[in-house]
Amino acid sequence: MTTTTRKAPHGERRCYQAGCRRPECLNAHYRWCSRYRLDILEGRPRRVDATATRNHIQTLLDAGWAQAQISRAGSLPHRIVTSVRAGQKTVAVSTARAILSVPLGPPPADQRDVDATGTVRRIRALVAIGWPVAQLAPRFGLYVTALGGIARGELQNVRATTARRVAHEYRTLARTPGNSNRARNDARRNGWHGPLAWDDTTIDDPKAQPEVDELQILNRDELAAIRRTDIEHLDGFGASAEEIARRLGMGLSTVRGVVAELRAGERRDRMKVAA
């Protein structure tokens, strides 16, 4: 037997729109239509052009607001602000009023979202000493995809609770190297700096520069070794030379040459075992 879950109570237009034709739902629908026709006749549109609303949102973002802050200030669901930014042509009058009522200027001082600089640097520093994102995410209470996006610098702001959690865990993990060479290689390839490049007084300052020891800069042989390790790793999972070259941003001929060397080495190992 199949059961259905009601999405709206009887007596509301939503119930009529869901297919119910009970008298109270029909009456709710007729009342809504009557009010709609009256609004049209008296020049009170239900929707307006979204351009002014979208421009207001962009001005707030340029002033340092996060989209989540705009949603909260206007008492609107986050998805509505996202839809307006995505370019929808019209917007409900109530939505336009809510967004346009958010005052221009810097975001509120008691903001729930903070600058992501320190959080990004802490995550990258942990990856640089061997902590992969997949191991860090559960410690921070985040999904792997979300933490990866922060590490790549895709967000200008993060939740204050996330920033505090990362900073708390960082104080412990930064003293204990992880066990992932792949994480270290990824960090080196991306130019991410370890904990020694930062101290507590600079890591959250967007204007601060890392203190990089010249010995930490990779030479040509070290970089080649890292790339060879990455190629060997992907080749072990059956990736084609074309796919490896695309993912690592390397020349196809270089990848094919390394793969050929790996195959030759495997053959020599087998011959030694057979002998």
What is residue 274's predicted lDDT score, i.e. its pLDDT?
Answer: 64
83, 81, 111: which is closest to 99 by C-alpha? 81
| Predicted TM-score (pTM) of this structure | 0.46
Read off the pLDDT of each residue in 132-156 and give the average, rounded to a whole number. Answer: 89
As a three-state string, the secondary structure of 132-201 is CHHHHHHHHCCCHHHHHHHHCCCCCEEEHHHHHHHHHHHHHHCCCCCCCHHHHHHHHHHCCCCHHHCCCC
273: confidence class by pLDDT, cuts 50, 70, 90: low
- 147-200: per-residue pLDDT in tens? 998 999 888 888 888 898 999 999 888 888 888 888 888 888 888 988 888 887
Q: State the architecture of 47-100 in CATH terms.
A: Orthogonal Bundle (1.10)
Report d(CA 13, CA 26) in Å as an integer. 8
Q: Write phi, then psi, for 49 (nearest 5 degrees).
A: -60, 135
pLDDT at 73 over 90: no
Instruction: Report the distance separating Cα 129 and Cα 188, nearest Å.
Output: 10
82-92: average pLDDT: 88
Rounded CA separation 148/154 (Å) = 9
The phi-psi region of residue 23 (left if phi > 0; otherwise alpha if psi is between -120 and 50; otherwise beta) is alpha
Residue 103 CA neighbour count, 13 Å, CB half = 4
Give me the percent of the chain exceeding a pLDDT of 70. Answer: 85
Rounded distance between C-alpha atoms, residue 125 and residue 169, angstroms? 12
Average pLDDT over residues 262-271: 73
Contacts of 65 (CB under 8 A, 6+ apart): 107
Q: Where are the beta strands (DSSP E) in 31-145?
A: 47-49, 90-92, 113-115
pLDDT at 132 over 90: yes
Domain residue ranges in the chain: 10-44, 47-100, 113-214, 220-274
pLDDT of residue 224: 66
Report the distance separating Cα 92 and Cα 94, nearest Å: 5
Average the pLDDT over 11-28 and give the result.
Answer: 84
Q: What share of the chain is helix, strand, coil (3-state, %, to 5)?
A: 60, 5, 35
Cα–Cα distance list, 139 to 46, 133, 202 (Å): 47, 10, 24
Output the average pLDDT for the chain: 81
pLDDT at 222: 53
Determine the pLDDT at residue 275.
62
Examine the pLDDT at 108 and tell me if it is beyond 90.
no
**The two structure tokens encoding residue 218:** 């990779």
Nearest CA to 126 among 177, 56, 82, 162? 177
Residue 3's pLDDT band (boundaries 50, 70, 90)? Answer: very low
Q: 251 or 188, which is more confident?
A: 188
Task: Using pLDDT thresholds of 50, 70 and 90, give the confidence band for residue 223.
Answer: low
Mean pLDDT of 255-274: 76
Residue scoring higher pLDDT (200 or 204):
204
